Structure 1
Amino acid sequence: MEQKIPMQQSKVVQTRLVLPPDTNHMGSIFGGKVLAYIDEVAAISAMKHCRSIVVTASIDSVNFLSPVTVGDVLISEAFVTSTGRTSMEVYVRVKRESWKNGEQTLTTTSFLTMVAVDDQGYPIQVPTVYPETNEEKQLYQSAMERRQKRRT
């Protein structure tokens, strides 16, 4: 019988303080630093889903929407939105939060494809994911279209 796991089970939230070494000469965080955080939180989410080692197969549609500056709190949230036989699509959103007033602003969104592998690095089958909330259902329903775009 095929194992089915709710999206919520793969949810991961990481919080970091943006410090001067994380930023460029303008005082805003390096895009590459944000990409590294996105890749890390997506990998943890995928590992939670499949309980296996994962590798990044692709990162697409990274959208930098607003700046993050020194002193901001950076919140990265990820969860598996769709599954194939050995792969998982993971949605990541990054927000900045002002520690002064708690106001949050969406700064970055991205979709990544992670592949589950065994100890020798060979792809292995992953459990199916299913949505529960309205947001999850929207992401789940639009996943096939994103998958087709990746293949072209």
Structure 2
Amino acid sequence: MQGKKTSESRTVMADIVLPPDTNYHGTIFGGNVMAYIDKVASITAMRHCRRQVVTASSDSLDFLSPIHTGEAILLEGYVSWTHNTSMEIYVKVEAENLLTGERRLTSQAYLTFVALDDNGKPANVPPILPETEEERWNYKTAAGRFEIRNRRRSIAKERRKQ
């Protein structure tokens, strides 16, 4: 299967944070940020493999800074690594002060998606061809995250047996 460049599936999304999107601190609900991240990652994964996908895991979501009412939430996702039927997606979230143009990193996450065939079974995905320095770093460090995910999944399976 021929590889695909990261830019072929890169997904960018922007929205304005309004009062109904926020908590009593005037900052966006964390659950809303999580939903945005999952949407961006889903689109990214489907663009890469051109198949239906399911979210298999969310490795980490680090909230670094809040996003306030009136700011824009900016999300960017790309495929950072692929395995046989799975894709690791990196999503970066920024806030933008729309009056000054100042941007800051607010959160980042790694998610894993599995491609599905027409029968709902895992399907092979094309390899990823990273293009930028950041993409190459995420690609090089992905095997370690893959091992951690597999260990975490094994522990969860053992717990279910108890």
Q: TM-score, normalised by structure 1?
A: 0.97
Q: List aligned pairs for 1:1-152, cutoff 5 A.
A: 2-152=1-151
2:71 aligned partner, one-letter code:
D
Cα distance in 2 between the residues matched to 1:47 and 1:107: 25
- Equivalents in 2 of 1:4, 1:114: separation in Å? 17
CA-atom RMSD in angstroms: 0.8
In the alignment, residue 121 of structure 1 is paired with which amino acid? G
Could you give the per-residue CA deviations for residues 25-67 of structure 1, whole angstroms, max 9, x where no partner exists? Answer: 1111100000000000000000000011111000011000000
- In 2, the alpha carbon distance for the partners of 1:107 and 1:120 equals 38
Instruction: Kindly provide the amino acid, as one letter, of the partner of residue 141 in structure 2.
Output: S
Question: Identity, % of aligned pairs?
Answer: 49
Letter in 1 for 2:30: G
| 1:119 CA drift (Å) | 3.2
Determine the C-alpha separation between the residues in 2 that align with 1:40 and 1:30: 16
Structure 2: give runs of 5+ residues left out of the alignment: 152-162
Who is 2:158 aligned against?
none
TM-score, normalised to structure 2's length?
0.91
What stretches of structure 1 move > 3 A for 4+ residues in a row? none
Q: CA deviation at 1:131?
A: 1.1
Following superposition, the deviation at residue 118 of structure 1 comes to: 2.1
Residue 110 (structure 1) shift = 0.2
The separation in 2 between residues aligned to 1:19 and 1:123, in whole angstroms, is 39
2:31 match: secondary structure? helix
What is the DSSP-based 3-state SS (H/G/I as helix, E as strand, rest coil) of the residue aligned with 1:35? Answer: helix
3-state SS, counterpart of residue 109 of structure 2: strand
Instruction: Report the residue type matching 2:23 in the other structure.
Output: N
